[in-house]
Amino acid sequence: MSPVMDDQGRVVGASLVAGDTSETERSMLAQAEHSKRSRFRDMVNELPYYIILLTPDHRIVFANRAFVEKFGEPGDKRCYEHLFGFSQPCEDCRSFDALKTNRPVAWEWVGPNGRVYDVYDFPFIDEDGTAMVMESGIDITEKRLADDALRKAGEYNRSLIEASLDPMLTIGPDGKITDANSATVKVTGVRLEDLIGTDFSDYFTEPEKARAGYETVFREGLVRDYELEIRSTDGHITPVLYNASVYRDHSGNIIGVFAAARDITARRRFESELKERREKELERLLELEKFQRLTVGRELKMVELKKEIAELKKRIEELEGGRQEDDL
């Protein structure tokens, strides 16, 4: 539509040219849709993990750049043909569970390149109403290797702790036992699952002294040769020396105490036997000293007696000599 003017430039009407715009609008809409799809495709191609669309007959009708770079162009092949060269679907495939349950499915998949992927499948309905599976896969191989290494290190450390004959345990800031080895289970007579979550100090003949010990560790960082006595469920008492120190998280915050106890029953027994031996030796020494005093006393008396005898003999001889003179 445009204005109609007279010779003096005044608007006296309007002209309208009518035409069919439906084709133009359709073209514009198609271009807009194409542009939107292109932007979406470009965005999907920039993702570091793969995304594909699977039809119910296992054909890959869309694959982003990450998939193509890892596994190549699928072409018209089915997924199991393209990826593994199989003639039948993979037995352990869970991709199509999303269509069966109409719910997202998460699982792990080992690709033909030997890499491990976290796979997420979602039910997807295409524009024409076709049911499909939209699948994304994130390569977690390095994470899995790191997790396995961490798990093996944990298992190794645990095996070392379990191999120890000394009771070992960890204590939280609240004084509760968070873990313990089999030696602790043995010396207390309490199962591991029953130990965890209970108060550390409850297993000693002097709970207050035990509590003061781990509080010292949290306050000062460690204790050495802290003497306590563990009371078993059967009443048996085990004397121990505890050595403990704090342990921290990756940020350096104290999260608990690691404590190891050394059974000193044998040392206590040795000390008791040594004390008893010393007492017996002291008693024997006293007896010998007493005997010596008696012996020395007797010897002195014998010396004195000999002196008296000698003096008596001398007097007798003198008396006998005087008597002989008188007879002459």
Q: What are the pLDDT digits (tens) for 29-73? A: 666 665 666 777 788 888 999 999 999 999 999 999 999 999 999
Query: What digits encode the pLDDT tens for the residues 140-192?
Result: 999 999 999 988 988 888 888 888 889 999 999 999 999 999 999 999 999 99
DSSP state of 161: H
Last residue of a domain, one of 268, 301, 318: 268
Cβ neighbours around 290 below 10 Å, total: 10
**67-101 pLDDT tens trace:** 999 999 999 899 999 999 999 999 999 999 999 99
Query: What is the predicted pLDDT for the residue at 15?
Result: 47
Per-residue burial over 81-109, b if 16 or more Cβ lie within 10 Å, else e, is bbbeeeeeeeeeeebbbbbeeeeebeeeb
Please determine, for residue 288, whether its predicted confidence score (pLDDT) is greater than 90.
no
Q: What is the Cα 280 distance to its own chain's centre?
A: 52
- HSE of 212 in the Cβ direction (CA atoms, 13 Å)? 7
Residue span of the structural domain in which 113 resides: 26-143
- Does residue 240 share a domain with residue 208? yes
321 in a domain, yes or no?
no
Which of 143, 176, 195 marks a domain boundary?
143
Cβ–Cβ < 8 Å for 151, 172: no
Q: Are residues 139 and 177 in the same domain?
A: no
Number of domains in the chain: 2
Tokens linked to 61: 């009708």
Q: Could you tell me which residues come within 8 angstroms of residue 108 by beta carbon, excluding any fewer than 6 positions away?
A: 116, 117, 118, 119, 140
